[in-house]
Structure 1
Amino acid sequence: MSVVGIDFGAQSTKVGVARNKGIDIITNEVSNRSTPSLVGFSARSRQIGEGAKTQETSNLKNTVGSLKRLIGRSFSDPDVQLEQEYNSAAICDVNGQAGVEVSYLGKKEKFTATQLVAMYLTKIKDITSKELRLPVSDVTVSVPAWFSDVQRRAMIDAGDIAGLNVLRLVNDTTATALGYGITKLDLPGPEEKPRRVIFVDIGYSDYTATIVEFRKGELNVKATACDRHFGGRNFDKALTEHFADEFKEKFKIDIRTHPKAWSRSVAAAEKLKKVLSANPQAPMSIESLMEDTDVRLMVKREELETMVKPLLERVTLPIEQALAEAKLKVDDIDHIEMVGGCTRVPAIKDAITKFFGKNLSFTLNQDEAIARGCAFACATLSPVFRVRDFAVHDIVNYPIEFTWEQSPEIPDEDTSLTVFSRGNVMPSTKILTFYRKQPFDLEARYANPDMLPGKVNPWIGRFSVKGVKADANDDFMICKLKARLNLHGILNVESGYYVEDMEVEEPVPEEGEKKDGDAMDTDANGEGQPKKTRKVKKQVRKGDLPIATGTGGTDQAVKDTWHERETAMYMEDKLVAETDEKKNELEGSIYELRDKIDGVYSEFASDDEKEKLRAKLSATEDWLYEEGEDTTKSVYVAKMDDIRFIAGPIIQRYKEKVDAERQAVLKAEEEAAAKKRAEIEAKKKAEEEAKKAEEAANKPAEGDAEMKDAPAEGETAQGETEEKQ
C-alpha cells in the first residue's frame, strides 16, 4: 500500500511519497521533480503534464491551464473570466460549470473543469505508480485555504473519476505547518507558551498567510488570510505588458495581437524574473518573436519593482489581516517561515522583513514543503505506516448558517442559526435540535457571501428530514440532526434521530463516597448496603430519521459516465503511445540494419541476402513516410516482423560468432587466471621451502652446544688429582 501526498499547484504539481523512513519527492517521466499542471488535446490523443508543456506554444488553443482555479466554479464567476487572460483555450459554460471547448480527435468537444482535473490526476497517478512500482489509490491532495464547499466537493469528485481515494483535502499552509511541526523535537509542552509561527506562502497565482501555534504533538491554526490574485504570474504579466510597450516602440511589433508571440514573451518574462531575483540586471532575448524580428532588452531589478509597485503595496495586507484575526501582535510571532516560489523575490522579502523587524526563516524547501506535508498527512491516516502522533486542528474560514421554515405551531421560532463560525476548529460536529410534528427541510449556506472567492454561490446544500410525526398525545417529536464539517472541510448532515423525555433511575452519590475502582462499601457485618437512587428526566434515543440530501457535488450517474469516458480516453492515449513506440522502433531498425548490413553483419550474409534486405528496408522506408505515416500499431508490428524474417538468420549468425568469441575470451581468461593462480601457489610454496631451509641452516647442532658449555673430560680429571695431592 502506497502513501502519497499531492501538492496540486496552479502552475505545477509535486508528489511526495513515504518511503525509506522519510518523505521523497518523486520524479516524472523526464526526471523533473515537478509536473506542469496542463492538459492538452490533439487530433490523435491527449498530452498531459510534460507532454502538454512541450507542445503548448504550437497548440495554444487546445492546451488548458488554471485547472485549480477553474474547478468548482460557474462560468459567470468573474474570477473565471479573469482566467481567460492566462489561457488561450476558450473557457466556456458546460451545464452551468466552468469548462473549456477544445479540438480533440478532429472535432470540437467541451469538458468541465472537474473532468480536466480528473484527467490530470490520472496522469499523476500513472507517474507515481510507475515510480513506486505499486498501484496508487489512497492519497491526500492540497487545496487553497480559500476553497469553498462546492470547490472541495469537485476536487473529491475529480479524484473519484481518476480512481483515487482522497483520504483528506488539506489546506496548503496547513500541510506546510504539519511538515514543519512533525519533525520538530523541541516543541513546548502542554503547559508552556506555544511556539507561534506564521507561514507566508506566495505561489504562482495566490498568497496565503497562516498563523499556527505549535505544542508537543499538535498544531492549532489560529488564523488564515488570503490574497487570491497575488502571485508569480502577476509579476510575469506586468513584465510582459512592459515588453509589449517596448517592442511596439523599438521593433514596431504588437505582441498583444499575436497569441504565440505573447505566450513566448510570458515564458521569457518568467525566466527573467527568476534571474533578477539573484542579479541586479539581466538581458531578455527572443529570436524571431514575430514577423521574423529578433528582440533584445536589458532590464534592471529596480525597473521590475517599479512595474509591480501596486502588487508590492499589498504584500503585508494578508499578514496584517491574519494577525488581527488571531488577536496577536508582531512581537508575538516567533518565526516567519517563507514558502512558495514567489518568496524568492527580493522586494517581497525586504517588505516582510521590515514589517516584522526580524529575520525571515527559509528552513523549509520553498517548492516542496506542501507536498511533504501532504505525504505526512497521508501517512498519519494510513494503517501501514507508523508516524509520530501529531494532531492537526484546522479552522473554518467561512461561517456557515442553517435556515429552515418556521413551524406553524411555534410562531416565535428563529429560522436561522450560524452553526459553524469563522475560526471554529475543523473537523467539527454540532447537534441541532428541532421540535416538529411533520417532515421539514433545512438549508445550509455561507453566512457572509462577500467573503467567498469571486461570486461563488453561497448555497451549500438542502436536507429534507423524513419520518417526522406527532406522538400519541399530539406532542412535538424532538428531532436531533448531526451536522459535521469533515476532514476535507465539506459540510454534511450525517444523520438524524428522534428522542423522548423519559424518567430513568440513576444512583445518588453520597458524601464521602468512594470512587470507582475502590472496594464496595460494607456495613458493620460486612454486607453491602443498597445504593440510593433517584428518578430524573433524560432524553432517550428512540429511532432514526431518514434524511434526503441535495448538495453541490456531482451526481453519481454523471460521475460514472465521466469515469467511463476517462478510462476510454486513457486507453486510447496508451494505444497511441504504444503505436508511436512501434513506429519509432521500425524507423530505428531500418537505419540500424542499413548501416550494419555493410558493417558488422557483412561477413554473415550472402550477396543475395544483402540485396533482399536492402530492398525490404527501402520499400518499408518509402511506405513509412507515405501511407505508413499514420496507421495502427498492428501494422507497424507486422512490418517489423517482415524485416526480422529476412534479417533474423543474418543476425543469428552474427550473434553465434559473437557468443563463440565471448566464450573463447572467457575460456582464455579462465585459463590465464588458473595459470596465474598456479604460479602464485608455486611461488608461495617455493618461498616457504626456502624459508624452512634457511631456518634449518642457522640452527646449531645439539652436540656442539654441550661440548661448548662443559669443560673437557681430561681437564676435569687433572683438577681433581691435584686437589687430592
Structure 2
Amino acid sequence: MSVVGVDLGTLNTVIAVARNRGVDVITNEVSNRATPSLVGFGPKSRYIGEAAKNQEISNLKNTVSSLTRLAGRSLNDPDVQIEKDFVSAPLVDINGQVGAEVTYLGNKERFTATQLVAMFLTKVKATASAELKLPVSDVVLSCPAWFTDIQRRSLLDASEIAGLKCLRLINDTTATALGYGITKLDLPGPEEKPRRVCFIDIGHSNYTCTIVEFKKGELAVKSTAWDRHFGGRNFDKAMVDHFAKEFKEKYKIDINENAKARFRVATGCEKVKKILSANSAAPLNIESVMNDVDVRGMLKRDELEELVRPLLDRATAPIEQALAEAKLKTEDIDAIEMTGGCTRVPSLKTAIQNFFGKPLSFTLNQDEAVARGCAFSCAILSPVFRVRDFSIHDMVNYPIEFTWEKSPDIPDEDTSLTVFNKGNVMPSTKILTFYRKQPFDLEAKYAKPEQLPGKMNPWIGRFSVKGVKADAKDDFMICKLKARLNLHGILNVESGYYVEEQEVEEPIPETPKEGEKKDGDAMDVDSKDAAEKPKTRKVKKQARKGDLPLSAGTASMDEASKNAAAERESQMIMEDKLVADTEHQKNELESFIYELKEKIIGVYAEFSSEDEKSKLQAKLETIEDWLYEDGEDATKNIYTSKIEEIRSVAGPIIQRYNDKIEEQRQAVLEKQQQAAMAKQAELERQKRAAEEQKKAEAPLEANDEEMKDADTVKPDDIEEPSA
C-alpha cells in the first residue's frame, strides 16, 4: 500500500512519497521533480504533464492550464474571466460549470474542469506507480486555503474519477506547517508558551499567509489571509505588457494579436525574471517572434521593480490581515518561513523582511515543502506507517449558516443560525436541535458571501429530514441533526435521530450541616439521619429513540455522472495506451530496418548467400518506403506484421549467425571449464606434495622432543635429605 502526497500547483505539481523512514520527492518520466500541470489534446491521443508542455506552443488552443483554479467555478465568475488571460484553450459553460472546448481525435469535445483535473490526476497516479512499482490508491491532495465547499468537492470528485482515494484535502500552508513541525524535537510543552511561526507561500498565482502555533505533538492554525491574484505569473504579465509596448514602437509588431508570439514572449520573460533574481540586468532575445521579425530587449532589476510596483505595494497586506485576525504583533512571531517560487524575488523578500524587522527563514524547500507535508499527512492517516503523534487543528475560513422554513406551530421561531464561525477549529461537529411535527428541509450556505473568492454561489447544500411526526399526545418530535465540517473542509449533515424526554430520579448532593463530618474530619459524629435514604429529585433527560432518514443535495457529482466520467476516463486511458504502444511498435520497426541494413553488410555477411542478401535488402527497401510514405498512421498490428515479414526473410541468416555465436560461446565456456579443472588439479597436487613433506619431517621433530625431555630436570626428581 502506497502513501502519496500531491501538491497540486497552478504551474507545476510535485509528488512526494513516504518511504525509507522519511519522505522523498519522486521524479517523473524525464527525471524532473515537478510535473507541469497541463492537459493537452491531439488528433490521436491526449498529452499530459511533460508531453503537454512539449507541444504547448504548437497546440495552444487544445492545451488547458490553471486546472485547480477552474475547478468548481462557473464561466461568468470574475475570477474565471481573469483566468482567460492565462489559459490558452477556449473556456465554455457546461451545465453551469466552467470547462474547455478542445479538438480531440479530430472532433470538438467539451470537458469540465473536474474532468480535466481527473485526467491530470491519472498521470500523477501513473507517475507514482511507476516510481514505487506498486499500485497507488491513497493520496493526500493540497488546495489553497481560500477554496470553498464546491471547489473542494470538485477536487474530491476528480480524485474518485481518477481511481484515487483522497484521505485528506489539506490547505497548502497547513501542509507546509505539518512538514515543518513534525520533524522538530524542540517544540514547547503543553504548559509552555507556544512557538508562533508565520508561513508565507507565494507561488505562481497565489499569495497565502498563515500564522501557526506549535506545541509538542500538535499545531493550531490561528489565522490565514491571502491574495488570490498575486504570484509569479503576475510579475511575468507585467513584463510581457512592457515588452509588447516596446516591440510595438521599435519593431512595429503587436504580439497581443498573435497568441503564439505572446506565449513565446511570456516564456522569455519568465527566464528574464529568474536571471534578475541574481543579476542586475538580463537580455530578452527571440528569433522570428512573428512576421519573421527577430526581437531584442534588455531589462534591469530596478526597471522590473518599477513595473511591478502595484504588486509590491500589496506585498504585506495579507500579513497585516493575518496578524490582525490572530490578534498578534510582529514581535510575537518567532520565525517567518518563506515557501513558493516567487519568494526568490529580491524586492519581495526585502519588503517582507522590512515589515517584520527580522531575518526571514528559508529552512524549507521552497518548491517541495507542500508536497512533503501532504506525504506526512497521508502517512499519519494510513494504517501502513507508524508516525510520531501529531495533531492538526485547522480553522474555518468562512462562516457557515443553516436556514430553514418557520414551523407553523412555532410562530416566533428563528429561521437561521450561524453554526460554524470563522476561526472555529476544523474538523468540527455540531448538534442541531429542532422541534417539529412533520418532515422539514434546511439549507446550508456561507453567511458572508462577500468574503468568498470571486462571485461564487454561497449555497452549500440542501438537506431533507424524513420520518418526522407528532407523538401520541400531538407533541413535537425532538429532532437532533449532526452537522460536521470534516477534515476536507466540506460540510455535511451526517445523521439525524429523535429523542424523547423521560423523567428519571437522581440523588441530590447534600451540603453537610454544621457539626456533621466533612471530608478530612478526624472523627465520626453520630447523626440520626445516617440511616435515612439519600434524597432524590426528578429530572427530565433526553434518550435517543430512533434514526431519522436524511437526503442531501450538494455540489458533489451524483454517482451516475461520476461513474460515466470514470468510464470515459478509462476509455481515454486505453486510447492513449494504444497510441503509445503503436508508436513504440513503429519505432521498433524503424530501428529493426536500420539494424539489419547495417548488419547484412557487416556481421551477417559471411552467413548469407548473395541471393539471400539481395532478397533481404529488397524487402528492407520495400518496407522502408512503405513506412515513410503510406505507413505513417498505420495500426499497431500492421507494424507488428511488417516486423514478422522481415523476420521471415532474415530469420535463417540471423539463426546461422546466432548458432555461430553460441558455438563460440560454448567453446569459450569449455575452455574456461578445462582451465578451471586444470587449476583445481594443480591445487590438489600441491596439497598432496605439502602433506608428504610434512610426513617426512615428522620423526625428526619427535626425536628433538625426546632430547628436550631427557635434559629437563623436574622438581619431583629432587629428593629431600633425610634428618
TM-score with structure 1 setting the length: 0.91
Partner in structure 1 of residue 583 of structure 2: 580
Letter in structure 1 aligned against 2:193: K
Q: What corresponds to 1:364 in structure 2?
A: 364
Q: Which residue of 2 aligns with 1:183?
A: 183
The corresponding residue for 1:545 is 548
* Partner residue in 1 for 2:594: 591
Matches within 5 A, 1:655-694: 655-672=658-675
- Matches of 1:69 and 1:685 in 2, distance apart? 84
| Aligned equivalents of 1:701, 1:207: Cα separation in 2 | 96
Cα 1:587–1:405 shift into 2, 3 Å: same
- Whichever residue aligns with residue 565 of structure 2, its letter is W
CA separation of 1:694/1:480 partners in 2, compared to 1, >3 Å: closer, same or farther? same
Shift of 1:643: 1.1
**Alignment match, 1:536:** 539
Q: 1:475-507 CA distances to partner (integer Å, 9 max, x unpaired)?
A: 222111111100100001111111111112335
Alpha-carbon distance between aligned partners in 2 of 1:53 and 1:614, rounded to the nearest angstrom: 40
Q: Distance in 1 between matches of 2:697 and 2:304?
A: 89
Mapped to 2, the partners of 1:232 and 1:18 lie a distance apart of 30
Moved more, 483-492 or 700-709: 700-709
Residue 312 of structure 1 aligns with which residue?
312
Query: Whole-Å Cα distance in 2 between the matches of residues 545 and 205 of structure 1?
Result: 45
In the alignment, structure 1 residue 155 sits paired with structure 2 residue 141: no
Task: Give per-residue Cα distances to partners, 1:201-252, cap 9 Å, x unaligned.
Answer: 0001111000000000000000000100001111111111112122222223
Cα separation, partners in 2 of 1:702 and 1:677, compared to 1, 3 Å: closer
- Cα deviation for residue 681 of structure 1 reads 8.3
Rounded to whole Å, the distance in 2 between the matches of 1:564 and 1:51 is 23
User: 1:294: Cα distance to partner?
Assistant: 2.3
CA gap of 1:705–1:560, structure 2 versus 1, over 3 A, is closer
Indicate yes or no: 2:559 matched with 1:556: yes
Query: Counterpart of 1:649?
Result: 652
3-state SS of 2:192 partner: coil
Instruction: Identify the residue that residue 715 of structure 1 maps to in structure 2.
Output: none
Q: Which moved more, 1:684-693 or 1:91-100?
A: 684-693
Alignment of 1:206-285 (within 5 A): 206-285=206-285
- Which aligned runs of 4 or more in structure 1 are off by greater than 6 angstroms? 510-513, 528-532, 676-709
Shift of 1:605: 1.4
Query: Structure 2: where are the runs of 5+ without partners?
Result: 517-525, 713-723
Equivalent of 2:630 in 611, 627, 632: 627
Map 1:185-584 onto structure 2 (within 5 A): 185-508=185-508, 533-584=536-587
Q: Secondary structure at the match of 1:86?
A: coil
Partner AA of 2:252 in structure 1: K
* CA shift in 2, pair 1:407/1:643, >3 Å: same
- Who is 1:9 aligned against? 9
Tell me how large the CA RMSD over aligned residues is. Answer: 2.7
Aligned counterpart for 2:614 among listed residues 602, 611, 616: 611
- Match of 2:158, as an amino acid? A
Q: Distance in 1 between matches of 2:316 and 2:55?
A: 38
Q: Give the Cα separation in 1 of the matches to 2:698 and 2:314.
A: 94
What CA distance in whole angstroms lies between the structure 1 residues aligned with 2:567 and 2:709? Answer: 108
Counterpart position of 2:25: 25
Which AA in structure 2 matches 1:544? D
Deviation at 1:552, TM superposition (A): 1.3
Per-residue deviation, 1:535: 2.8
Are 1:51 and 2:51 matched, yes or no?
yes
Paired amino acid for 2:585: K
- Find the aligned partners of 1:124 and 1:130 in 2 and give their Cα distance: 10
- Aligned-partner residue type, residue 254 of structure 1: D
Query: Which amino acid is the alignment partner of residue 649 of structure 1?
Result: P
Q: Aligned partners of 1:703 and 1:536: how far apart in 2?
A: 112
What residue ranges of structure 1 are gaps of 5+ in the alignment? 514-522, 710-725
Q: 1:494 to 1:605 in 2, by over 3 A?
A: same
- State the Cα deviation string for residues 264-304 of structure 1 (Å, max 9, x = none): 11111111111111222222222222222222222221111
Cα deviation for residue 632 of structure 1 reads 1.2
In structure 1, how many angstroms separate the alpha carbons of the residues matched to 2:384 and 2:507? 45
Q: Deviations over 1:423-471 (max 9, x none)?
A: 0000000111111222221111111111111111001111111222222
CA positional deviation for 1:412: 1.7
Deviation by residue 1:653-702 (Cα, 9 ceiling, x = unmatched): 22222233233334444555666677788889999999999999999989
Deviations 1:62-111 (A, max 9, x none): 00001010000001101111111111110111111000111111111111
SS in 1 for 2:264: helix
2:334 alignment partner AA: D
* Structure 2 Cα separation of the partners of residues 706 and 62 of structure 1: 105
> 2:63 maps to what in 1?
63
Tell me: CA distance 1:615–1:198, structure 2 relative to 1, closer, same or farther (3 Å).
Answer: same
Cα offsets for 1:328-370 (capped at 9, x unmatched): 0000000100111111111111111111111111111111111
Letter in 1 for 2:449: P
Secondary structure (helix, strand or coil) at the match of 1:389 reads coil
- Classify the secondary structure of the residue corresponding to 2:497: strand
Bigger drift between 551-560 and 670-679 goes to 670-679
Matched residues, number:
697
Structure 1 residues 699 and 42: CA distance shift in structure 2, 3 A: same
Letter in 2 for 1:644: R
Deviation per residue, 1:169-215 (Å, 9 max, x gap): 00000001011111111100000000000100000111100000000
Matching residue of 1:98: 98
Structure 1 residues 543 and 619 mapped into 2: Cα distance closer, same or farther (>3 Å)? same
Identify which range, 220-229 or 241-250, moves more after superposition: 241-250
Other structure's SS at 2:666 match:
helix
Residue 15 to residue 705, structure 1, CA distance change in 2 (3 Å): closer
Q: 1:558 to 1:708 in 2, by over 3 A?
A: closer
Supply the AA of the counterpart residue of 1:491. Answer: L
Q: Whole-Å Cα distance in 2 between the matches of residues 105 and 632 of structure 1?
A: 15
For 2:702 and 2:252, the matched residues in 1 are separated by 107
Q: In 2, Cα distance between the equivalents of 1:281 and 1:699?
A: 95
Q: Which secondary structure state, in structure 1, belongs to the residue aligned with residue 603 of structure 2?
A: coil
| CA–CA separation in structure 1 for the residues paired with 2:130 and 2:299 | 43
Code of the residue aligned with 1:370 in structure 2: it is: V
Shift in Å at residue 145 of structure 1? 0.3
Q: Secondary structure, in 3 states, of the residue corresponding to 1:81? A: helix
Q: After alignment, is 271-280 or 40-49 more displaced? A: 271-280
Q: Percent identity?
A: 69
**Structure 2: how far apart are the matches of 1:258 and 1:347?**
32
Separation in 2, partners of 1:61, 1:145 = 30
Question: What TM-score do the two structures reach when normalised by structure 2?
Answer: 0.91
Q: 2-side partners of 1:703 and 1:652: how far apart? A: 76
- Structure 2 residue aligned with 1:113: 113
